[in-house]
Chain A
Amino acid sequence: MSNEEINGGDALIRALADENIDLIFGYPGGAALHIYDAIYKQNKVQHILVRHEQAAVHAADGYARATGKPGVALVTSGPGATNAITGIATAYMDSIPVVVISGQVASHLIGSDAFQETDMLGISRPIVKHSFLVQSAEEIPVVIKKAFHIATSGRPGPVVIDVPKNMTDPNYKFEYKYPKDLVMRSFPILGKGQDEKIAAAIELFRSAKKPVIYSGGGTIQADASKELTEFSKLIGCPVTNTLMGLGAFPGNDEQFIGMLGMHGTYEANMVMSEADLIFNVGARFDDRITNNPSKFGLEAKKIHIDSDPSSIDKIIGVDLAIEGDAKIVMQQLIEQVKSTGFDQSIYKDWWSKVEAWRKAHGLNHDMLQLKNEKDIILPQQVIQSLYQTTNGDAYVTSDVGQHQMFAAQYYKFKDPRKWINSGGLGTMGFGLPSAMGVKFAFPEADVACVTGEGSIQMCIQELSTCGQYGLPIKIVNLNNRALGMVKQWQDMQYGGRYSSISYEDSLPDFVKLAESFGHVGIKVEKLSELNDAMKESFAMKDKLVFLDVLVDPDEHVYPMLEAGGSMSEMRLSKDKKTF
C-alpha cells in the first residue's frame, strides 16, 4: 500500500503526532499560516494559543522540565521568531529539550528584507543545540525526527526548525513517510563509564575523610535521582544540590545539607570549602557555585561525571573524569559499592563538624513561629507557609530574584522535576508561562508560581491564556514593592543608592488585575493572615488565585558568597560575615 500524498504543513503536524507530541504552544502569523491550517484539520496535536511567543517557549520548557519529554513551540517569522529568542536561550542554558518551529518567508524571498523576515538561524545560532532550515517539503518528516533526537539525547537542548512558507504550500503534495530510523554521522551518545574509573571513584571515597556529593541539573535530566539517592545512602556522606539540582536528593533528608553556592546554606558552602573529596554528578562548576575558581576546593580531589565532555575541565580541573550517562554511571557505582561493601563510620568526625556548622548558622525552617509587633511578613515565611500547605508536594515554578532564592532555600523539594526555574540564564518572566506548561502536563497536581511584583509583570499577559484554558495555577507574589535582588546589591555595594529599582507608586492593584482576567485575587498584608490565605488559595481547586503578599521590603537573601572570595567567605546577615 502506498502512503497517502499530503502537503508540507500537514506533514509537519503529522510528524509531530508520530513523535508522540500531543501539545504545542504557539502564536500564529503570516509565514506560519499553512501550518496553522494543518493544525485546524486534525485533532491529535492540540495547539495552545499563548499571548506572547516568549511565553510559548517558556511553557514548552516548563512542560519539558516537569515531564522529561520534549516541549514544542510554534511561532511565525520575524517578530514571532525574535520574541522566542529569550525562551530558547533560557532552555539552552539549562539544557532543556525544546523544539521550536519558526515560520520563515518563502525561500525565494530569503535575504531580500521581506516583510517579517529575520535570519532566525543566525540569530539563534549561539543558543541552540542545533538548527535546521527546511530545504524541501519532502525532508520535513526527517528533519522533525532528527530535531527530536538531537534535542532529547545526550546533554539535551533546544533545536530550532526554520520553515520557509513555500515548504508548507498546500498545493504541493508528496508521499508522507515517517522515518523508522536515522543515520547520524558522528553523533556519539555516552552511556557507561569505564569500569576502572568506577572502581577508582569508590576507592577515592574510601580514602577520603571529608567527602561531599554535589549534584546538579544533569542528574535530574538523566532521570538519575533515584540512583543518586541510593548511592548517597550507601556512602553516607553529606549531599548538596545546585539550584538546578534541587529535588534530585530529598530536601527533607538529614543527609541533605541544602543548596550550595551564591545563596547556598552555610553548611553546604563550608562543606565544599573544607572537603577533601568533591564528587560532582551532572553539575558544571559554574560561577554561582565556585565563587572564585582559583580559590575553589584547593584541598579536594575531584570526581566529575558528565554526559558532555566539554563540561569537564572547563572551569575546574578534575582528578577523575567519568564521561557517561549519569543514570548508568550511578548504577555502576551502586553495584561497585554493593559488591565491595562500604563502611560509613569513617565519616563520623566529618559529620560532627557538619552538624556543628548546621547548628551554628543553618537556615531556620520554623520562621512561621517568629512574630513581630507590626505583623510584617518575611518572604521566607511565605515559602514556609506554601511548603506546609502543599506538604512539599507541589510543582513550584519561579521567576528570578530574591523570591527565587527564598523558594530554593526554604521549599524542601522531595522529588525531582518539581522545582522549575531559570537557573542559567536567569530569565524574569519565566515563572507564569512555565507553570502553564506544568499544569497542562499535570492537571491534577498543585502548581505554584512563586514570583515577585517585578518578574510577574514581564509575562503578566499570560493570565489571559490561563483564563482561556482554565489553568488553576496559584501565583504567590512576594511583593516587596521594588526589584529586591538589585536593591540588595545596591544596599551592599553601592551605599544604598537605589538606582531604578522602584516603580514610584505605579504598581497595579494585582487583585483587581487578576479579577479582570476572570481569576481570583487575594491580598495579604499581615503575618497573622498568611496561612489562612494560603490554604484558601489552594482550596480553590478550579481557580487561578493571585496571592499578592506584601512582604518586608528590606529583607536580604543570606547566606551570600562574597564576590571574588572562596566558598567559605559568606555574608550571613546584614551585619555578620565569615571573613
Chain B
Amino acid sequence: MASQISLLMENQPGALSRVIGLFSQRGYNIDSLSVAPTQDSTLSRLTMTTSESREVIQQILKQLYKLIDVVMVQDLKASEFISLEMALIKVSNKSEVISKIEKNYSSLEFSELDNKKEKTILRLIGDTDTLETLLVELNDDLIEVTRTGALGMTLGDVSLETEEETKVIY
C-alpha cells in the first residue's frame, strides 16, 4: 500500500505550487493529492499518497517541512490511522453495476445521486485499494470517473496540529 503524508500549510496563493513543485523538482512521484482549507481558515490541509521507498519518504517529509509555507507534516503510517477516498462514477447499466458492488465489495459504501436520461451517478466511499480493484472490474461500464484521492487521519491522541508560533524579536 502506498504511503500517505498529511500536512498543514498556509492557505495562501503559491503555497500549493511550492509543495507540488518540490515533488517534480526532486523527482518524487505523487499518486494522489487532495487539498482544502481546515477549521482554521488560514490553514489548508493536504493529503498525498506516494509509492516511494521509506528512505525517500523520510527525505520528502524533511523537504516538505523545510518549505516556509508548510506548517506541519505527518507521516500517517507512523501511527494507527484511517484512510478513505470517495469516487463518483457515471454508468448507464445501473442495476448490473450495483449488483457487482453488492456481491464483491461489501466494504464500500455507495449511494445513488442522480438519474437522468438513463445515466446514473453513483457515489462510492471506501479504502483506495478496494476502490481501485472495483474500478478495474467495472472498466467497460464506466462513462466517467472522478476521485478525491485518499484522505487520512491518525486515531486517538495522535493528531496533526500546529506547533507554537515562533516569535522573533529584534
Indicate if the CB atoms of B18 and A125 lie closer than 8 Å.
yes
What is the distance, in angstroms, from A265's C-beta to the closest C-beta of chain B?
A: 32
Contact of A186 among B17, B18, B70 (CB under 8 A): B70
Indicate if the CB atoms of A185 and B166 lie closer than 8 Å.
yes
* Residues on B with beta carbons closer than 8 Å to the beta carbon of A126: 21, 25
CB of B59 closer than 8 Å to a CB of A? yes
Indicate if the CB atoms of B58 and A133 lie closer than 8 Å.
no
CB of A130 closer than 8 Å to a CB of B? yes
> Which B residues between 147 and 170 are near A, CB-CB below 8 angstroms?
162-163, 165-170
* Residues on A with beta carbons closer than 8 Å to the beta carbon of B162: 185-186
* Residues on A with beta carbons closer than 8 Å to the beta carbon of B70: 186
Indicate if the CB atoms of B10 and A185 lie closer than 8 Å.
yes
Which of B13, B58, B68 has the most chain A CB within a 10 Å cutoff?
A: B68
Indicate if the CB atoms of A182 and B168 lie closer than 8 Å.
yes
Indicate if the CB atoms of A310 and B66 lie closer than 8 Å.
yes
CA distance A449 to B149 in the complex (A): 54
User: CB-nearest residue of chain A relative to B58?
Assistant: A313
- Determine the interface band of chain A, counting residues with CB < 8 A from chain B: 20 to 34
CB of B100 closer than 8 Å to a CB of A? no
* Residues on B with beta carbons closer than 8 Å to the beta carbon of A187: 68, 166, 168
CB of A131 closer than 8 Å to a CB of B? yes
Contact of B168 among A125, A130, A181 (CB under 8 A): A181
Indicate if the CB atoms of A133 and B13 lie closer than 8 Å.
yes
Indicate if the CB atoms of B13 and A183 lie closer than 8 Å.
no
* Residues on A with beta carbons closer than 8 Å to the beta carbon of B10: 185
Indicate if the CB atoms of A180 and B166 lie closer than 8 Å.
no
User: CB-nearest residue of chain A relative to B73?
Assistant: A186
Indicate if the CB atoms of A188 and B17 lie closer than 8 Å.
no
Mask, A285-314, CB within 8 Å of B = 1, is: 000000000000000000000001110111
CA distance A186 to B70 in the complex (A): 8
CB of A121 closer than 8 Å to a CB of B? yes
CA distance A301 to B36 in the complex (A): 45
* Residues on B with beta carbons closer than 8 Å to the beta carbon of A144: none
Mask, A114-135, CB within 8 Å of B = 1, is: 0000000110011001110100
CB of B144 closer than 8 Å to a CB of A? no
CA distance A313 to B63 in the complex (A): 12
> Which A residues between 153 and 202 are near B, CB-CB below 8 angstroms?
180-189
* Residues on A with beta carbons closer than 8 Å to the beta carbon of B165: 183-186
CA distance A313 to B58 in the complex (A): 9
Which of B10, B62, B71 has the most chain A CB within a 10 Å cutoff?
A: B62
What is the distance, in angstroms, from A150's C-beta to the closest C-beta of chain B?
A: 6
Indicate if the CB atoms of B62 and A310 lie closer than 8 Å.
yes
- Given A133-B14, A149-B168, A310-B59: A186 touches B66 (CB 8 Å cut-off): no
CA distance A125 to B18 in the complex (A): 7
Indicate if the CB atoms of A184 and B166 lie closer than 8 Å.
yes
CB of B91 closer than 8 Å to a CB of A? no
CA distance A187 to B25 in the complex (A): 22
Indicate if the CB atoms of A186 and B170 lie closer than 8 Å.
no
Mask, A304-333, CB within 8 Å of B = 1, is: 000011101110000000000000000000
CB of B118 closer than 8 Å to a CB of A? no
- Given A181-B168, A185-B10: A125 touches B68 (CB 8 Å cut-off): no
CB of B55 closer than 8 Å to a CB of A? yes
What is the distance, in angstroms, from A14's C-beta to the closest C-beta of chain B?
A: 16
Which of A184, A186, A189 has the most chain B CB within a 10 Å cutoff?
A: A186
Indicate if the CB atoms of B58 and A182 lie closer than 8 Å.
no
CA distance A367 to B151 in the complex (A): 67
Indicate if the CB atoms of B55 and A313 lie closer than 8 Å.
yes
* Residues on A with beta carbons closer than 8 Å to the beta carbon of B59: 310, 313-314
Indicate if the CB atoms of A186 and B166 lie closer than 8 Å.
yes
CA distance A129 to B71 in the complex (A): 15
What is the distance, in angstroms, from A185's C-beta to the closest C-beta of chain B?
A: 5
CA distance A308 to B58 in the complex (A): 14
Which of A149, A150, A180, A182 has the most chain B CB within a 10 Å cutoff?
A: A182
CA distance A180 to B169 in the complex (A): 6
- Given A149-B168, A181-B167, A313-B58: A186 touches B13 (CB 8 Å cut-off): no
- Given A308-B66, A310-B59: A183 touches B166 (CB 8 Å cut-off): yes
Indicate if the CB atoms of A150 and B17 lie closer than 8 Å.
no
User: CB-nearest residue of chain A relative to B61?
Assistant: A310
CA distance A312 to B167 in the complex (A): 27
CA distance A125 to B21 in the complex (A): 8
Indicate if the CB atoms of A184 and B55 lie closer than 8 Å.
no
CA distance A312 to B65 in the complex (A): 14
* Residues on B with beta carbons closer than 8 Å to the beta carbon of A149: 168
User: CB-nearest residue of chain B relative to A311?
Assistant: B62
CA distance A35 to B114 in the complex (A): 57
Indicate if the CB atoms of B63 and A180 lie closer than 8 Å.
no
CA distance A312 to B10 in the complex (A): 26
- Given A121-B14, A310-B59, A310-B66: A186 touches B21 (CB 8 Å cut-off): no
- Given A125-B21, A185-B10: A130 touches B68 (CB 8 Å cut-off): yes
* Residues on A with beta carbons closer than 8 Å to the beta carbon of B65: 309-310
Indicate if the CB atoms of A183 and B170 lie closer than 8 Å.
no
What is the distance, in angstroms, from A523's C-beta to the closest C-beta of chain B?
A: 45
Indicate if the CB atoms of A182 and B167 lie closer than 8 Å.
yes
User: CB-nearest residue of chain B relative to A313?
Assistant: B58
CA distance A189 to B168 in the complex (A): 11
* Residues on A with beta carbons closer than 8 Å to the beta carbon of B131: none
Contact of A181 among B13, B68, B169 (CB under 8 A): B169
User: CB-nearest residue of chain A relative to B66?
Assistant: A310
Indicate if the CB atoms of A186 and B72 lie closer than 8 Å.
yes
Contact of A122 among B17, B25, B170 (CB under 8 A): B17
CA distance A14 to B158 in the complex (A): 46
> Which A residues between 7 and 50 are near B, CB-CB below 8 angstroms?
none
* Residues on B with beta carbons closer than 8 Å to the beta carbon of A186: 70-72, 162-163, 165-166
* Residues on A with beta carbons closer than 8 Å to the beta carbon of B17: 122, 125
Q: Beyond the given A183-B168, A313-B58, please list 5 additional residue pairs across the A-B interface where CB-CB is below 8 A.
A: A126-B21, A131-B14, A184-B167, A185-B166, A188-B166
> What residues of chain A have their CB less than 8 Å away from a CB belonging to chain B?
121-122, 125-126, 129-131, 133, 149-150, 180-189, 308-310, 312-314
A–B Cβ pairs within 8 angstroms, 14 of them = A122-B17, A125-B18, A129-B68, A130-B68, A184-B168, A185-B71, A185-B162, A185-B163, A186-B70, A186-B162, A186-B163, A309-B62, A310-B66, A314-B59
> What residues of chain B have their CB less than 8 Å away from a CB belonging to chain A?
10, 13-14, 17-18, 21, 25, 55, 58-59, 62-63, 65-66, 68-72, 162-163, 165-170
List the 6 shortest-distance A-B pairs measured between CB atoms, nearest first.
Answer: A310-B62, A181-B169, A186-B71, A130-B68, A182-B168, A126-B25
